[in-house]
Amino acid sequence: MIPRSLVPLLLAPLLLLASCVTDTAAEPPTDADGSAAGTASLAAGTEVAAVYDFSGTTIDGAKFEGSSLQGRPAVLWFWAPWCPTCRGQVDGVTALAERHDGEVSVIGVGGLDDAGAIADFAEEHDMGIPHLQDPDGAVWRHFGITAQSAYVVLDADGVVVAEGSLGDEELAAEVAELVG
């Protein structure tokens, strides 16, 4: 039997982990039908060029154009600064970016928080990749992302070959297959 005084200590880590998945107040907006707002640009049958039709701002304040990703594979990692799962993925994303430097563009897209918290997370975890500040969720909506942590893997032609919650090994295998 667990002493009553230890119950809060045992439940705290579970609540923290659950917050990565269940914080609906911080999720990007949805349309009236419940679908992610702004996802029409990537609907089935849409031209591949629409995948690159987005822009953002890096944590350094520079303009980022999605079209800069054209011509080689890309991995977009959608994260939130308060998410423990995202923090746990830093090493895997860093290793992936280092392993495929010059072959694959790896871009972090921080959201679900304000620009300051996003910049603080990116600076704290110097990963050697560009990070976009997406506090209003525009890039997240463009790709239909509704929860962190998620990936979108594009081939060199802009075709989405993998998306969603991927483990380090699954992500590495997808990228390895793209670069041959």
The CATH number linked to 127 is 3.40.30.10
pLDDT profile of the chain (180 residues), mean per 10: 46 41 39 39 56 95 96 97 96 96 97 96 94 96 95 95 95 94
Query: Considering the domain boundaries, does residue 6 fall inside one?
Result: no
Instruction: Specify if 13 maps to a domain.
Output: no
Q: What is the pLDDT of residue 10?
A: 42
H-only helix segments in 100-158 = 115-124, 138-142
Predicted structure pTM score: 0.76
Cross-strand pairs, 74: 105, 154
- Residue 5 is assigned to a structural domain of this protein: no
Note whether residue 172 is domain-resident: yes
In a domain, 19, yes or no: no
pLDDT computed for residue 47 by the predictor: 57
Residue 30 pLDDT: 40
Q: What's the confidence (pLDDT) of residue 11? A: 40
Query: By CB neighbour count within 10 A (0-12 exposed, 13-18 middle, 19+ buried), where does 12 fall?
Result: exposed
**Are residues 126 and 140 in contact, defined by beta-carbon separation less than 8 angstroms?**
no
In a domain, 20, yes or no: no
Q: What's the domain range around 47?
A: 36-179
Tell me what pLDDT residue 180 has: 85
Tokens 């081939």 sit at which residue?
Answer: 155
Q: How many domains does the chain have?
A: 1
Cα 96 from Cα 178, distance rounded (Å): 13
Domain presence at residue 168: yes
Q: Angle of helix 7-22 relative to helix 84-99, nearest 10 degrees?
A: 60
10 inside domain: no
